[in-house]
Amino acid sequence: MERLASKQEVRQAVAEARREGKRVALVPTMGALHEGHLSLVSAARDRADYVVVSVFVNPTQFGPEEDFEAYPRDIERDMDLLGAEGVDLVFAPTPEIMYASDAAVTVDPGPLGGVLEGAVRPGHFSGMCTVVTKLFSIALPDLAFFGEKDYQQLTIVRAMARDLDLPVKVIGCPTVRECDGLALSSRNVYLSSEERHAATVLYRSLRTAETLVLDGERDAAVVAGAMRDTVASEELAEIEYAAVVDAVTLEPITALSDRPARALVAARVGGTRLIDNIALEVG
């Protein structure tokens, strides 16, 4: 397994893999790897011959009051995990390598970037789209793997690849959870033991929504309200949003039908901000 920080060296390594007829996959990460990330790597290994994993805490997708400096970093541990998974190349650049000092061009995520997470975190999705576009142009993957845990991110990246004619297939992989339902996240390390227990309320709110729909509830406002009530029942949690949306467009819906829908929730547990989502299926 190679570890490279140079964009040109990554391009050269990928070009060599292509000359050998290999199919290239990219798994973008911000490091602090857990089983969720490794499930993406496993999916990439199953569908490609040459797997590139990027490890880069992207400063442009953090707001001024967010946790960029505190975000967990452990590149040596990440390297050990990726080596064990059979990754071919780890791209671990610095911000100075990724961004020119006078960089001014960014990628606009469009309307999808202004709702839900985008409304709470202005500029987040522009930073995400910009760095993902750069990673696509550096690694030139045939396939790119993203987790459904960040469902809005996955949806925006798919739209970006389509709208900008980027020659990459974006593949979503299921959320990986602890046995009590908590979605794996690098930010879970911030939680105290009491907060860790309280954090399961996000998944419980999603299961409440799922149960209501399976029992016949079709009013999206009722389902979203039940999610909010569930989160409100946990004194350590503070809801930011609970929404039921079209799974493709992320637009709010009034009634559930046979069209795919998604329930999304965001909340703060103690000082830690967490998100989660689940598919809602009628019938």
User: Which residues are identified as catalytic?
Assistant: 37
Q: DSSP class of residue 252?
A: B
Structure-block tokens of residue 216: 């016949």
Cβ–Cβ < 8 Å for 30, 72: no
The CA-atom distances, in angstroms, between 31 and each of 20, 21, 47, 90 are: 29, 29, 22, 11
Please report where in the chains the tokens 């547990």 appear, as a residue. Answer: 269
Tokens of residue 221, six digits: 């406002």
Please, which residues have CB within 8 angstroms of residue 219's CB and are 6 or more apart in sequence? 254, 255, 256
Query: Which letter does DSSP use for residue 190 in this model?
Result: G
* 134 phi and psi angles, rounded to 5 deg: -65, -45
Nearest to 143 by CA among 162, 169, 163: 169
